[in-house]
Amino acid sequence: MDALREIVPAVAARLPRLTLGEWPTPLEPLPGQEGVWVKREDLSSPHYGGNKVRCLEPVLGALRAAGQERACATGAYGSNQALAHVVHGQRHGFTCGALLFPQPPSPSAAANLRALVGLGPRLHLTRSILGFPWEYLRLRRAGVAVVPPGAATPAGALGHLAAALEVALAVDAGQAPAFRHVVLPVGSTCTTAGLMLGFALAAARGLGPPPRLLAVRVTPWPVTAPWRIRRLARRAAALLASLGGPAVDPLPVRVTGDFLGRGYGHATEAGRAAKARFAALGGPGLDTTYSAKAAACLLACPLDGPTLFWSTKSRALPPPGDATALPARVQAWLAEGEG
Ligand SMILES: Cc1ncc(COP(=O)(O)O)c(C=O)c1O
């Protein structure tokens, strides 16, 4: 099902996209948690899923439309975005690279980097975050199409807009209750910006009252400053209108930093407890960098009325590759994450 085509066919016809995921992703109750439902973005693809598949559809679609054959992903060593980019980019004939900067070690970050190595993209592994902008510019100057971290672009946000439309259509069809709240992690801001616009568009098309969005910081201010999130949502709204869609004001969003802990990639006690609780309930698997922090918020904050948890961490994972050719410092990082 293509929710974009159902609600805004003119936009669907004009927005270059590749189909990477299996849509719609399931929408189901979280067992044992009265009133809590889950949008299973973790199941968006059997090859590698998660929320990032959404924004990659228009982002890789635009590169294909521009005739690009090489596409370089960017992010942290354990980036889901970079892994999704390489998995799906390669499946669609791109020659992929990945420019990555260090992050705190963790089991899921290490597993991602091992899986990435197995796919054989050209890797640029900087020694620190400070080296990242230089390498980014160098690659761009060399003519490589470099996708920004999180694929956080207006086109990328329109990929997530489609997910909000899927939820609104399911609610309208009586398959789920009208949600009062949506809780999700916010990292690069792309997903949140897309949902702010998507739920506003759904409401403008008569698909129920919009939910309140609660975005749980997994990266610090200013990356997740509300003004940055709003700016991306407004740019996505302008793109939507330029493609023949209606003029829509994105919804407001509440942003909380209470579950971030020491910062990006640092696991928190509350996150670990939420991960264990979800496992005990039979809910989706969580990772300590992103989804567990949002789940910790969901479990801690009393939210009145039906609440939708946005499950973003892919359940599928490609097999690990041989990492012995990586620099010693990166092998040490892998071992620490796995230890
Ligand atoms: C598993 C997971 N959840 C949430 C996010 C945050 O989404 P966004 O970057 O669109 O804010 C990411 C970003 O990479 C992610 O990988």
Buried b / exposed e across 206-243, counting CB within 10 Å, b at 16+?
Answer: ebbebbbbbbbbbbeeebbebebbbebbbbbbebbeeb
Q: DSSP letters along 145-175, please?
A: EEPPGGG-SHHHHHHHHHHHHHHHHHHHTTS
Q: Is the CB of 44 under 6 A from ligand 1?
A: no
Residue 58: CATH number of its domain: 3.40.50.1100
CA 185 / ligand 1 centre spacing (Å): 7
- The letter for the amino acid at 180 is R
Let me know whether 140 and 80 are in one domain.
yes
Closest C-alpha residue for ligand 1 atom 5: 187
Name the residue range of residue 180's domain: 3-52+152-311
CA 194 / ligand 1 centre spacing (Å): 12
Determine contact, residues 234/250, Cβ cutoff 8 Å.
yes
Let me know whether 213 and 244 are in one domain.
yes
Q: Count of domains in the chain? A: 2
Q: What per-residue confidence (pLDDT) applies to 293?
A: 98
Let me know whether 261 and 282 are in one domain.
yes
Closest CA to 39 of 245, 291, 325: 291
Name the pTM for this structure.
0.98
Residue with tokens 């705190």: 104
Q: What per-residue confidence (pLDDT) applies to 302?
A: 82
Q: What per-residue confidence (pLDDT) applies to 208?
A: 84
Q: Is the CB of 289 under 6 A from ligand 1?
A: no
CA distances from 69 to 57, 73, 86, 97, 117 (A): 15, 13, 13, 11, 20
Let me know whether 8 and 156 are in one domain.
yes
CA distances from 83 to 76, 87, 122, 179, 311 (A): 10, 6, 12, 31, 17
Let me know whether 197 and 299 are in one domain.
yes
Q: What per-residue confidence (pLDDT) applies to 42?
A: 98
CA 220 / ligand 1 centre spacing (Å): 13
How many CB atoms within 10 Å of residue 297?
Answer: 24
Closest C-alpha residue for ligand 1 atom 16: 80
Domain assignment of residue 319, yes or no: no
Domain assignment of residue 259, yes or no: yes
Q: Is the CB of 224 under 6 A from ligand 1?
A: no
* Residues in the chain, overall count: 339
Q: Is the CB of 191 under 6 A from ligand 1?
A: yes
Let me know whether 125 and 41 are in one domain.
no
Upstream peptide bond of 58 is cis (omega within 30 degrees of 0): no
pLDDT in tens, the chain (339 residues): 899 999 999 999 999 999 999 999 999 999 999 999 999 999 999 999 999 999 999 999 999 999 999 999 999 999 999 999 999 999 999 999 999 999 999 999 999 999 999 999 999 999 999 999 999 999 999 999 999 999 999 999 999 999 999 999 999 999 999 999 999 999 999 999 999 999 999 999 999 899 999 999 999 999 999 999 999 999 999 999 999 999 999 999 999 999 999 999 999 999 999 999 999 999 999 999 999 999 999 999 988 999 999 999 999 999 999 999 999 999 999 999 999
Domain assignment of residue 322, yes or no: no
Let me know whether 251 and 307 are in one domain.
yes
| Atom in ligand 1 nearest the alpha carbon of residue 191 | 10
